[in-house]
Amino acid sequence: MKLNIKTKLYQTNYILILICFLSIVTSWLISYFDYVNMVNNGYINKKSISFRLEEMNKPFNPNLSGYILMQYDNERLSPKYVYINGDVKLPPIIKNNNFNIDKDIDSHAAIVGASASIESIPNGYTITGTFDTSHSYRLSSDIWLLSRIEELHLDKGHYFIFTSPSSSPEDKLSALMNGNPYEVLSMQNYGTYSLASNSLFQNILWALYLFFLLIALAHTINGHRKDGKLITVLYYSGFSTYRLIWIMIKLRLFSFMLISIFLVISCVLLNRYIYSLWDTSWLLYSFCFIGFQSLSIIIASISTSCQYSVKKEGHRF
Amino acid sequence: MRLSEILFKQSRMLYFAVFLVSLLFFSMVLVLLINVKQANLETHSTNNFKGKNLYQLSDNLYNDRETAYFSNSNSYTILRDFSNQLAQNTSLNYYNSIWQPIEIADFKGDVHFDAYYENGSNQQPYEVKGKTYRAIKSLQLNAKVFELNHIEAEEGTLFSNNDFIFSNDDSSSIPVLLGSDYAGIYKPGDTIHILYYQRPYTGNVVGILSPSQKIITANDPERLLDRYIVLPSMSFDNHVNVQAGRIFFKASLLSKINGIIITDLSPIELNKVMSTISNETHFNDFDIIGANSIAIKLLINMTEANRSLLLITAAISMIVVLLLFLWIISVVIRSNSSVYKVFLISGASFDQLYASTRNQFLLWVGISSFLPLFPLLILVSNPLYFVINYLLIDVVLCACFVIAIHLFIKRTFTRLNIVQQLKG
Amino acid sequence: MSLTLINVKKQYNNVLLFDHVSLKANPGEIIALKGKSGTGKSTLLNIIAGLEKPSSGEILLNELSFSEKSVHELSRVRREYIGYISQHTPLIPKLTVLDNITIPLHFIKKSEVNKEIMARIDEYAALLEIKNLYDNKIEQLSGGEQQRVGIIRALLHNPNLVVADEPTASLDDETSALVFECFNHLKSKGAIILLSTHHAAIAAKCDSIYLLTPDGLVLESPEISDL
């Protein structure tokens, strides 16, 4: 009997798990579109910070990781001196045989776009890879000169673009600057970022995310209403309201959380080993969905348990 | 009390959920319609450049050569004729976008609008006759640029055909269009004091452009207009009165002949056409350079890939939403099974049950399908295209819903087996 | 109006429930149907109420043949001539007692609650002692009170045939007696009452008792049943 009840409750959770999966896919799509836009905008995203540095009183913080810093001259946007620190996702690159990002930074390597003017590459740099971005005219004409942050000098240019997957790139940049004063510049976004259809579609994806949130909420409320009779039976059988709340939470919430976290972990592994994105904001959105849903299950469990034990049926006895 | 009221009273929350889901569904349909139109427009704009040969015209008039050329009193008329013949030639599209900052008196905008803000060489404001002038980003565009890039105004209007013609030497007013970042700073009908090639003008703001409007230029495949003041690149049909402003006329005419030629003609064919124009107008101090079209080709690919990606994702999303919508309907029917039992033993036939349930859903679907039109009418300028197309799609979708809901209700009722439930 | 069953048979997925069920009921007759659980009493009553179709056989209400009618047409027959009372009367919890009773009017052309109908409701409500509960929500009623609401709803249109599936199963003796009094009242008006019951006391008050077996109905007399 106990097993049957559990099976019944688990079965009703399948739809919720499906909706959870769809919301994770939507969250991933939001991040994916942002990554595509970033590639099309020359690997600069909406959270990138452009700034100008007139003088450098202290060297930049060499211990900070998880960012890409591009340095360029105001006369020409390319080539750029690019400082990559930590485990960050790079744009698609067709690598030469002996490509190794850590080694290449040390050995003055250049990554170039298919239509870049390679004659502008300074002496001492060798091409180790080509951008594999057939739709990004910006990266296709770009040249990245990989350098170590310790080699940063202002004679290479006073203009910088800082990009980090961190949720707060401003704080990270501030830590990197090590007290050097800099002037933030408000730059415009190009590529697919500047297509109205693209930004509108991002809003559609958010609406879809909201849609799944609503559907999941409606499903939770409806599912708990269906459990009313079961709660009444258990209440008659001697279970206290507190125990019923616990049973409902245990059966409804734990199974949901177990499967949804399994889903998220699977997605994380896929993201890490098969196809990764620039940042993990989609994971945050997924966790927000699971958190909201878990909260709604807890509230629904408490309210249904109270309603169908003490209030609805219990008062007669 | 009507049957639908009884059904509604029984599952208020779920009907509200149906309404919300339906509203979201139809809002998505409408937004997708707008988006498909937008994506098509974007692709259409870039397709104007697809498969075309692009050439950059460049004059050779600089330093001593320039001085010598303009010492001839006919030089201005020759340049005028040359630029006018280029614009009128039907075998090519003459595309003129000139990046030229203009000085504006007592400018209300912040530093983002300054001509050299992005590369950090902002010039200090200066005073002339008690007015403070700042160099502001500006583009002078001919009509072809507007046409090929499908430029749209959010408020006010675009330039009229007459705005592209310099009609009166003594005229001191000029129409201007402002990029979308100017919204809230200036509005259509406002006037701004401009120095355009050192000639004072009163700029009449005729419109504010829609956000993310951009044009393809020779140096930059994407020039975003959000921070720009756009002036018409004017042609000089009448006699050029040099005395009225030598610098103005010289700069205007030189900029007029440094445009892009977009054509299907091969280099040899184009040379032939240009030779004819050159011979007829007696101007030959120019070069034709093959413009960098790789970036433009990539831009076209990017725009097309963007549209394809959006359409595929949108189609899948719509199917998922539709399936969930049908699932919600089945949940509502199931939750109302006790009401259907009452109806059944009260003499209702199954057909009546189907009809009352179907009508109930269609009422909510109908209401929610019309609601998205209200924000559309308020927010979108010239919404007629979208209203007509949305209503057509709406009718088709509602017809599909009638059929789908009817079949779905029958299936759900069969699965519910209400008669069996009556046996207790 | 008389009720005639001729060789009614019902089977589900080749499993026979009952066969050769024949019966003749005359106006003003109360018939009890008995049988072990699972023999198909509720199914037979559903067939007589036009809710289900038999596998074979004929049901006649006077000259009206059920076999010639579609399920949709049978709904009309039920609406006009039959009152159906089930073991667990389905009611709409969010509505009041009076709203629940008058639901069948939605399916009749002249659907307003007129004086005649209200007088009838008052008559049965007084008989079943729930007249003071009209404005109460169903959720506020006890199980017995809910059953009585269901009974009044079934009798609202003065049916010629009342089909009641264990109408007193959830009622105490006193209330069961009230329900039976109600049936007697209908009987006096010439209606046929066909009810299934496990209660010997209720069966004993009926004019005839039939036992449902897989091979058909077997007549028992009330006296034998009492014994």
B20 touches chain C (CB under 8 A): no
Task: Over range B195-216, report the average pLDDT.
Answer: 90
Size of interface B-C (CB pairs under 8 A): 87
**Would the pLDDT of A12 be above 70?**
no
Task: Over range B43-71, report the average pLDDT.
Answer: 85
Contact B17 A214 (CB under 8 A): yes
What confidence score (pLDDT) does residue B168 get?
A: 64
C205 touches chain B (CB under 8 A): no
Residue of B nearest to C169 (CA): B424
Give percent above pLDDT 90 in chain A. Answer: 23
What confidence score (pLDDT) does residue A316 get?
A: 36
Residues 6+ apart with CB under 8 A from A238: none
What confidence score (pLDDT) does residue B2 get?
A: 66
The SS3 call for residue B215 is: strand
The minimum CA-CA distance between B55 and chain A, rounded to whole Å, is 19
Strand partners, B229: B138, B178
Q: What are the domain boundaries of chain B?
A: 3-44+301-423, 95-259
Q: Please state whether the peptide bond connecting residue A79 to the residue before it is cis, i.e. omega within 30 degrees of 0.
A: yes
Give the lowest-confidence range in A119-123, A186-190, B244-248, B307-311.
B244-248
Contacts of B221 in chain A (CB under 8 A): 137
Element (H or E) spanning B367, and its range?
A: helix B350-370
B379 touches chain A (CB under 8 A): no
Element (H or E) spanning B350, and its range?
A: helix B350-370
What band does A144 get if pLDDT is binned at 50, 70 and 90?
A: very high
CB C153 within 8 A of CB C159: no
Contacts of A199 in chain B (CB under 8 A): 212
Contacts of A219 in chain B (CB under 8 A): 331
CB A185 within 8 A of CB A52: yes
Residue of B nearest to A134 (CA): B298
Give percent above pLDDT 70 in chain C. Answer: 94
Which residues 132-171 on chain C approach chain B with CB closer than 8 angstroms? 153-154, 157, 165-166
Give percent above pLDDT 90 in chain B. Answer: 18
Q: What share of chain B is helix, strand, coil (3-state, %, to 5)?
A: 55, 20, 25
Type of residue numbered A289:
F
Residue B399 burial (CB < 10 Å; 0-12/13-18/19+)? exposed
CA–CA gap between residue B82 and residue B79 (Å, rounded) = 5
Q: Is B69 or A46 the better-scoring residue by pLDDT?
A: A46
Q: Which of B3, B346, B419 sits opposite C153 (nearest CB)?
A: B346
Contacts of B30 in chain A (CB under 8 A): none
DSSP string for residues in B246-280: HHHHHHHHHHHTS-EEEES--HHHHHHHHHHHHHH
Residue of B nearest to A159 (CA): B119
Task: Return the HEC string of chain C.
Answer: CCEEEEEEEEEECCEEEEEEEEEEECCCCEEEEECCCCCCHHHHHHHHCCCCCCCEEEEEECCEECCCCCHHHHHHHHHHHEEEECCCCCCCCCCEHHHHHCHHHHHCCCCCCCHHHHHHHHHHHHHCCCHHHCCCEHHHCCHHHHHHHHHHHHHCCCCCEEEEECCCCCCCHHHHHHHHHHHHHHHHCCCEEEEECCCHHHHHCCCEEEEEECCEEEEECHHHHHC
Instruction: Name the packing angle between helices A196-226 and B12-47 (round to 10°).
Output: 160
What confidence score (pLDDT) does residue B125 get?
A: 84
**Would the pLDDT of B338 be above 50?**
yes
Element (H or E) spanning B391, and its range?
A: helix B384-416
Which residues 79-118 on chain A approach chain B with CB closer than 8 angstroms? 115
pLDDT tens figures, B292-301 = 778 888 888 8
ipTM, two decimals:
0.79
What band does A109 get if pLDDT is binned at 50, 70 and 90?
A: confident
Give the neighbor-by-neighbor strand order of the sheet with B286-290: B93-95, B260-263, B53-59, B286-290
Mean pLDDT over each residue of chain A, to the nearest integer: 84
Q: Is B239 or A74 the better-scoring residue by pLDDT?
A: A74
Contact C51 B419 (CB under 8 A): yes
Task: Return the HEC string of chain A.
Answer: CHHHHHHHHHHHHHHHHHHHHHHHHHHHHHHHHHHHHHHHCCCCCCCCEEEECCCCCCCCCCCCCCEEEEEEECCEEEEEEEEEECCCCCCCEEECCCCCHHHHHHCCEEEECCCCCHHHCCCCCEEEEEECCCCCHHHHCCEEEEECHHHCCHHHCCEEEEECCCCCHHHHHHHHHCCCCCEEECCCCCHHHHCHHHHHHHHHHHHHHHHHHHHHHHHHHHHHHHCHHHHHHHHHCCCCHHHHHHHHHHHHHHHHHHHHHHHHHHHHHHHHHCCCCCCCHHHHHHHHHHHHHHHHHHHHHHHHHHHHHHHCCHHHC
Give the lowest-confidence range in A183-187, A270-274, B83-87, B269-273.
A270-274
What confidence score (pLDDT) does residue A7 get?
A: 52
CA–CA gap between residue B326 and residue B324 (Å, rounded) = 5
C84 touches chain B (CB under 8 A): yes
Task: Return the HEC string of B304-337.
Answer: HHHHHHHHHHHHHHHHHHHHHHHHHHHHHHHHCH
- H helices of B59-156, in order, are 63-70, 75-88, 143-149
Q: Which of C71, C87, C95 sits opposite B6 (nearest CB)?
A: C95
**Would the pLDDT of B160 be above 80?**
yes
Pairing of strands C216-220, A49-52: unpaired
Q: Which of C79, C90, C93 sits opposite B347 (nearest CB)?
A: C79
Query: Structurally, how many domains does chain C consist of?
Result: 1
What confidence score (pLDDT) does residue C33 get?
A: 92
Residues 6+ apart with CB under 8 A from B398: B362, B365, B366, B369
Q: What are phi and psi of A83, to 5 degrees?
A: -110, 115
Give percent above pLDDT 70 in chain A. Answer: 90
Distances (CA, A) of A25 to A76, A199, A209: 40, 18, 9
B414 touches chain C (CB under 8 A): no
Residue of B nearest to A218 (CA): B17
The gap from C-alpha A240 to its chain's centroid, in whole angstroms, comes to 43
A5 touches chain B (CB under 8 A): no
**Would the pLDDT of A264 be above 70?**
yes
Contacts of A16 in chain B (CB under 8 A): none
> DSSP secondary-structure letter at B245?
-
> Which domain covers residue C116, as residue numbers?
3-226
CA–CA gap between residue B256 and residue B211 (Å, rounded) = 27
pLDDT tens figures, A155-214 = 888 899 999 999 899 999 999 988 899 989 888 888 888 888 888 888 889 988 988 898
Mean pLDDT over each residue of chain C, to the nearest integer: 85
What band does C225 get if pLDDT is binned at 50, 70 and 90?
A: very low
Contacts of B13 in chain A (CB under 8 A): 218, 221
**Would the pLDDT of C226 be above 50?**
no
DSSP string for residues in B133-179: EEEE-EEEE-HHHHHHHT--EEEE----GGGGEE--TT--EEEEEE-
Pairing of strands A49-52, A159-163: antiparallel
Q: Which of A15, A29, A221 sits opposite B13 (nearest CB)?
A: A221
Mean pLDDT over each residue of chain B, to the nearest integer: 84
Contact B342 C100 (CB under 8 A): yes
B28 touches chain A (CB under 8 A): yes
What confidence score (pLDDT) does residue A104 get?
A: 67
pLDDT tens figures, B229-258 = 999 988 887 766 766 677 888 888 888 888
- The dihedral built from the CA positions of residue A194, A197, A201 and A204, taken in this order, carries a sign that is positive
For residue B118 the two structure tokens come to 């992005």
CB A83 within 8 A of CB A149: yes
B347 touches chain C (CB under 8 A): yes
Distances (CA, A) of A143 to A85, B114, B120: 18, 28, 22
Q: What is the separation, in whole angstroms, between the first and last Cα of chain B?
A: 28
Contacts of A182 in chain B (CB under 8 A): none
What confidence score (pLDDT) does residue B104 get?
A: 92
Residues 6+ apart with CB under 8 A from C146: C89, C91, C138
Which residues 171-200 on chain C approach chain B with CB closer than 8 angstroms? none
- Cα-Cα-Cα-Cα torsion B20, B22, B25, B31, nearest 10 degrees, comes to -80
Distances (CA, A) of B240 to B75, B229, B279, C97: 10, 25, 21, 94
CA–CA gap between residue A300 and residue A77 (Å, rounded) = 57
The minimum CA-CA distance between C114 and chain B, rounded to whole Å, is 15
What band does B183 get if pLDDT is binned at 50, 70 and 90?
A: very high
Best residue in B21, B306, B421 for a mutation probing chain A (most A CBs within 10 Å): B306
Give the lowest-confidence range in A64-68, B65-69, B133-137.
B65-69
CA–CA gap between residue C92 and residue C98 (Å, rounded) = 11
Contact C52 B419 (CB under 8 A): yes
Task: Over range A224-228, report the average pLDDT.
Answer: 78
Which chains reach chain A with 3 or more Cβ–Cβ distances below 8 angstroms? B
Which CATH number is C184's domain given?
A: 3.40.50.300
> DSSP secondary-structure letter at B191?
E
The minimum CA-CA distance between C51 and chain B, rounded to whole Å, is 7
**Would the pLDDT of C110 be above 80?**
no
Contact B24 A195 (CB under 8 A): no
Best residue in B14, B49, B150, B212 for a mutation probing chain A (most A CBs within 10 Å): B212
B248 touches chain C (CB under 8 A): no
pLDDT tens figures, C19-78 = 999 999 999 999 999 988 888 898 999 899 888 889 999 999 888 888 888 877 787 888
Give the lowest-confidence range in A86-95, A100-109, A113-122, C162-171.
A100-109
CA–CA gap between residue B102 and residue A84 (Å, rounded) = 40
The gap from C-alpha A24 to its chain's centroid, in whole angstroms, comes to 11
Q: What are phi and psi of A158, to 5 degrees?
A: -100, 0
**Would the pLDDT of A301 be above 70?**
yes
Residue of B nearest to C105 (CA): B346
